[in-house]
Amino acid sequence: MSTFSEEHKLFLKKIKQRKRFILFFQIMIFVLFLMIWEFSSRAKLINPFLFSSPSMVFSTIVDLFQKNNLFLHIGVTLYETIISFAIASIIGLVMATLFWWSDTTYKIFEPYLTILNSLPKVALGPLIIIWIGASVNSIIIMALLISTFISIINIYNGFKMTDNSYITLLKSFGASKIQIFRKAVFPANFTNVISALKINISMSLIGVIMGELLVSKSGLGYLIMYGSQVFNINLTITSAFILGIISYLMYFIICKIENKLK
């Protein structure tokens, strides 16, 4: 018993060491990238006016903070992203479940899903603005168009790939369809659903930024557009840099939730 306990502790220690090793190199790659970027800018290997630098990005962040604009724009983008992500995830899960429940329903809607998923959403932007108006609603609709259909398709494909042996076994015991879904299909696709959510958060953020580029007067997408219009490259790159951080943090939160639910 004690031998097993020591082996188990050693196993856990190796896992922690591996995680620290991976985290160390992840941080080092990021730091190295910033150092090379800063050095290249200061040494004029790249044009600092066009490519900015980490020190200029930091100065721009401080300037936005001092003007009370930083958290305003971050908050707007986060709000729109979270709303879009939540709605798209719920619709994706409900529709995927419905399509699994009725294969006939899926066959009816399959061509429309394919068409809607393949449509160039940016081209629909002006129409969305005309139909809904230049408001937060149009930004959320844009994000939903980008994220919802791919979410439905990914989750549904996972449901359909569930091992038939589990389903057959439950049927042999007289399980109802809802029991099969609860006891076999959904648990077997938990990882797939989480993976769909990880993709969904990225797609929602992309959709929100695209919407903000078209209609918003606040948010990080607005800052990117405004910076490009006045040729303030520092502001544009800083906004993109903040977006990268936000995207990673949201992905990290979903991963943590996944670990807690396992």
Mean pLDDT along residues 218-229: 89
Reported as a single tens digit per residue, the pLDDT across 58-79 is 999 999 898 888 899 999 999 9
Token pair 């303030």: residue: 232
The answer to whether residues 205 and 246 touch, using CB atoms and an 8 Å cutoff, is yes
Q: Model's pTM, two decimal places?
A: 0.84
Cα dist. 239→60, 94, 225, 246 in Å? 9, 34, 10, 10
Buried b (16+ CB within 10 A) or exposed e, 90-103: ebbbebbbebbeee
Q: Which amino acid type is present at position 161?
A: M
The answer to whether residues 207 and 195 touch, using CB atoms and an 8 Å cutoff, is no
Split at pLDDT 50, 70, 90, the class of 1 is: very low
Nearest to 207 by CA among 95, 87, 96, 91: 87
CB atoms within 10 A of CB 205: 27
Q: Examine the pLDDT at 216 and tell me if it is beyond 70.
A: yes
Split at pLDDT 50, 70, 90, the class of 55 is: very high
The answer to whether residues 227 and 239 touch, using CB atoms and an 8 Å cutoff, is yes
